[in-house]
Homo-oligomer: A and B are copies of this chain.
């Protein structure tokens, strides 16, 4: 197990390029909220309140701010339906799904971590 991880993490010659790639990614998904929001929308949540309810602790201010920037960066689509009252839907773009592997790896780590510190499943 350790040997495996050690192996995959050890390519000295490409180290600089990989550190760069890692730092780029951290820059893009940085902050507490970006990945949980992506995860929520990719999971099918479309409405502002639904997304907010699905992410413990997030305020309307932060959610609003992140959604706006994510729309600018083409991570999500925002569609307004002129009903009464107005409804808005957020949906993921293909680009948004590219974060899937990162999110899954992090969910996996988090579950194992919790199991480890609580001692149960």
With A1-B44, A6-B42, A19-B56 known, 8 other A-B pairs at CB within 8 A are A1-B43, A8-B45, A8-B50, A9-B39, A22-B35, A24-B114, A25-B106, A104-B105
Does A89 sit at the interface, judged by CB under 8 A? no
- Tally of chain A residues near chain B (CB < 8 A): 59
Output the nearest chain B residue to A41 by Cβ-Cβ distance.
B9
The interface of chain A, by Cβ under 8 A from chain B, is 1-2, 5-6, 8-12, 15-30, 32, 35-36, 39-40, 42-45, 50, 53-57, 94, 97-114
Q: Is the interface of A mostly helix, strand, loop or mixed?
A: helix
Which residues from chain B contact A30 at a C-beta distance below 8 Å? 32
Interface pairs (13), CB distance under 8 Å: A1-B43, A2-B43, A6-B97, A12-B43, A12-B44, A18-B111, A19-B54, A19-B56, A21-B106, A23-B36, A25-B106, A25-B109, A102-B102
